[in-house]
Amino acid sequence: MLNQTFRKGFGFIALVLLFALPFASSAQVPVPIKDTTRTLLLTGYIQTQYQHADSAGIPSYDGGDFTSNLDSRFAIRRARIQADYTRKFITGTIQFDLVPTSVRITDAYLQFSDPKFQTFNLGMGLTNVPFGYEVLASSYSLESIERSRLIQTLFPDEKDLGAHLIVQSPQAKWNTLKLSLALVNGSGRNFNDYDSRKNFVTSLQFDASKLLKKSSALNQLGVGVSYYNGGVRNNTNSMFYNGTDALGNKGFIEKPVTVGDYATRRYTGAHFLIGVKSVLGTTKFNTEYISGKQPGVAAGGAISGPLASRSFGVQPATPLYNREFEGYYFTLTQSLGKLPVFVVAKYDYYDPNTFVSGKTIGLAGNLTNAGDIAYNTWGLGSFVNIYKGAARLAIYYDFVTNESTSVTAYTHDIKDDVFTVRAQFKF
């Protein structure tokens, strides 16, 4: 059975690669099929890396947790192939991630563009959630080695299955505004939704970059707001809520509920971007802030502390913990004159439960746990672009700090910094 499964998987990968070979030399160039109204575009990229962690077996947002007894690793972070086919006003996209352990679909959607006004685009399938800045950014061209802890917690796959509407006028006067609306399952990349309730997402972005004069030192300027409203189904007869007991102690209070009740999942966010040219190169600054309500579970067993507040892809088996969170990040990049090099500094903060903090977390009787611990991360790195960015080399160091609590394993800052060396290439 195992050999049969292996042969099928190997055969599928071979078929994809065989299909890709004729197009590899002409990547990023549309290949006309019969007439100019139909276009096939095949693209892809590979990211390979070496990482060293402060200690073995740490939970990590730099490409996944380190397994027990492991503090260094070589890995294929991403290996993706994407095909886009356009015929007049219809575009179909499918993308695979061919990592060593599996072949996963990361995008699969259809988009219909209105041929008359060229303003409305209606799509359906698996694609990025239209929220904020970092969720929509390409994993290849991120300004840091990975997305922030905040974004990876709320949107672990950046993707979701549903329908979306994008409104953006082709006229220069109004093209700076982009409105996105979506209705999604809320279970990420999981194709099997676990409840009947759908989640609503919307964002409004203003990109003034196109209005700036080429002679201006200011070459990038944008701002946006986003909103997410949904729920998570509870599969037990109780849920936990932030509250204060009779003695004035903060923590969680257990309340009886009906099996099938929903916990609120609601986010409000804003982001800002600015870029300035000078003799030193281009200086770029962007920031994003998100707060709201995020259902989670209790940390323990197979669920490490950080994962206790992560969005779910499957039905949680244990009672839900209703947490109010806050998070943000700042990213500053600086190119070095005309050299194909830029350096980056990033600060990322995420507090999964703003109701409790410090030594209150983990106190006997208040039901708080490692899932309520706040983290801040400083990231420093340098990126070298080769062949105008078609290839990129990067070195990056994440300094990760958790708040000191009364939880046994987190009475002080644990050693979980991560150093990464990455090579990547797109075609």
d(CA 306, CA 422): 24
In a 3-state reduction of DSSP, which class is residue 12? helix
Q: 173 pLDDT band (50/70/90 cuts)?
A: confident
- The secondary element (H helix, E strand) that includes residue 139 is none
- pLDDT (tens digit per residue) in 328-384: 999 999 999 999 999 999 999 999 999 999 999 999 999 999 999 999 999 999 999
Q: How many domains does the chain have?
A: 1
d(CA 127, CA 398): 28
Cα 301 from chain centroid (whole Å): 25
Residue 4 covered by a domain: no
Residue 258 covered by a domain: yes
Label the pairing between strands 321-335 and 238-244: parallel
In a 3-state reduction of DSSP, which class is residue 419? strand
d(CA 124, CA 120): 14
Q: 252 pLDDT band (50/70/90 cuts)?
A: very high
- % pLDDT > 70, the chain: 91
Mean pLDDT to the nearest integer, 206-212: 89
Residue type, 89: F
Let me know: does 350 contact 149? Beta carbons within 8 Å. Answer: yes
Q: 215 pLDDT band (50/70/90 cuts)?
A: confident
d(CA 202, CA 101): 34
Listed range (34-38, 70-74, 116-120, 149-153) with the worst mean pLDDT: 34-38
Residue 280 covered by a domain: yes
Listed range (20-29, 85-94, 300-309) with the worst mean pLDDT: 20-29
Let me know: does 38 contact 86? Beta carbons within 8 Å. Answer: yes
* Bridge partners, 286 (sequence order): 273, 331
Residue 13 covered by a domain: no
d(CA 42, CA 29): 8
Residue 17 in this model has a pLDDT that exceeds 70? no
Let me know: does 86 contact 112? Beta carbons within 8 Å. Answer: no
Mean pLDDT to the nearest integer, 102-111: 94
- pLDDT (tens digit per residue) in 233-248: 999 999 999 999 888 8
The Cα-based distances of 282 to 213, 220, 336, 360 in angstroms read: 16, 10, 8, 44
Residue 135 φ then ψ, to 5°: -60, -40
Residue 29 covered by a domain: no
d(CA 163, CA 184): 6
DSSP 19: H
Cα 70 from chain centroid (whole Å): 25
Residue 236 covered by a domain: yes
What is this structure's pTM? 0.89
Residue 86 covered by a domain: no
Residue 300 in this model has a pLDDT that exceeds 90? no
End-to-end CA, the chain: 36
Mean pLDDT to the nearest integer, 295-314: 91
- pLDDT (tens digit per residue) in 129-171: 999 999 999 999 999 999 999 999 999 989 999 999 999 999 8
Q: 28 pLDDT band (50/70/90 cuts)?
A: very low
The Cα-based distances of 148 to 36, 100, 263, 271 in angstroms read: 41, 24, 25, 14
Q: 257 pLDDT band (50/70/90 cuts)?
A: very high
Residue 312 covered by a domain: yes
Q: What is the CATH number of the domain that holds 378?
A: 2.40.160.10
Q: 213 pLDDT band (50/70/90 cuts)?
A: confident
Containing domain of residue 254, as a range?
43-81+107-426
Residue 2 in this model has a pLDDT that exceeds 70? no
